Every structure is written in C-alpha cells, then in structure tokens.
Structure 1
Amino acid sequence: MPFVLLAFAIAFEVTATLAMRASEGFTRLWPSVIVVAGYLVSFVLMARALLTLNVGPVYAIWSALGTVGAFAGGVLLFKEQVKPVTIAGAVIIVVGVVVMNLGGGVRQG
C-alpha cells in the first residue's frame, strides 16, 4: 500500500508542476488552484508512505519520477523541445535512483 500512495503522490506532483506552467505565473485561477491542491495532496500522500518506507529512497523515487514525468508532460502538453542531452539527463536520474535503491532497503526497520 505505501508504494501505491507514493505512485499517487508522484502523479499529483507532476500534475501540480504542469499546472504551474499552465497558470502563467499564477495569473490564471484554475491552474493555480490545481497547483496548490496538487502539491498539498502529493505531500500528504508521501507523508503517509513515509510511515513505513525510508525517506531517502522514497524522496529519490518521488523526485526522479516527478522530474521525468514533468519533462514528458512538458513535451506532450507544451511542445517543449527535446534534445539528446535532455534525454540522457533523464536516464541518468533514473539510473541514480536505481543505484540508490540497490544500496539499501526502502522499508523501515
């Protein structure tokens, strides 16, 4: 169950980040509301996951998948440019999280 909470936390974080782009500097109401609500829900869900999971690996997973998700969403929704070096950076982030998780357990105890 904690990994399901983490997955939803990531989804809400990515949604909030993409809504921030759509808010045009918080000048548009509904995207701005989605930003605040999305981050709030994301943090609550991650806090619940952290009741049984270790903070280091969880934060690494949350931030890495959030970064990759925001990158993909930016490309798909906002037609942001994709460069080989950007893809390489995303791969390095994911590999870093995998290596970090190989170094120790995700669960507390």
Structure 2
Amino acid sequence: MQWLYLAIAVVFEITVAIAAGKAEGFKNRGWTATTLASGAIGTYFLSRALLTFDVGVGYAIWTSVAGIGITVLGAVLFGQRLDWRKALGIAVIIAGVVGLQLSGAA
C-alpha cells in the first residue's frame, strides 16, 4: 500500500510544479488554489507512505520520480527541450531509485 501512497504523492507533486508555473507568482487564483491544494494532498499521501518507508528513502524516491515526471511532461506538454544530457540524468535517477529499492529499504 505504501507504493500506492507514494505514487499518488508523486502525481500531486507533479501537479504542484505545473500549477505553480501557471500561477504567475500566485497572481492567478485558480492555479494558486490548485498549487496549494495539490501540495497539501501530496504531502498527506507522502506522510502515509513514510509510515513504512525510511524517511530519507521515501523522500528521495518521491522527489526523484516527480522530477522525472515534471521534466518529461515539460517536454511533451510545453515544448521544453529534452536533450541527451537530461535523458542521461533521468537514467541516472532511475538507476538510483532502483538501487534504493534493491537495498531493501522499503
């Protein structure tokens, strides 16, 4: 169940990043509300996941996977550049997350 909680937390963290970018420095009320609500919901589910995960491992996985999601969605939805360096960084992050999982941390 902790993996489901962590996955939900990741989705809401990605939503926070996208909504914060659209909030225009919190001038746009709708996107600001989305940012704040998504942050609260994501934090709730992260805290649920951290009941089972080691805090450092759970947080590292959460931020890493969300960062990958934000980078990929930025390229797909907003035309942001995804070059080989970013792809290499994503591969290194994935290797790190797999390494954390294989360590038996959760």
Task: Tell me how far apart the structure 2 counterparts of residues 100 and 26 of structure 1 sit (CA, whole Å).
Answer: 36
Please give the per-residue CA displacement for 1:32-64, whole angstroms capped at 9, x wherever unaligned: 111111111111111011112221221121111
Shift of 1:10: 0.5
Matched-pair identity in %: 32
Shift of 1:84: 0.8
Shift of 1:76: 1.9
Greater shift, 70-79 or 39-48, is seen at 70-79
Moved over 3 A (4+): none
What are structure 1's unaligned runs of at least 5 residues? none
TM-score of the superposition, structure 2-length normalised? 0.91
TM-score of the superposition, structure 1-length normalised? 0.89
Q: Show the counterpart of 1:29.
A: 29
Q: Show the counterpart of 1:85.
A: 85
For residues 35-46 of structure 1, the aligned pairs below 5 Å read: 35-46=35-46
How many pairs does the alignment contain? 106
What are structure 2's unaligned runs of at least 5 residues? none
**One-letter identity of the residue aligned with 1:25:** G
CA RMSD of aligned residues (A): 1.2
Q: Show the counterpart of 2:14.
A: 14
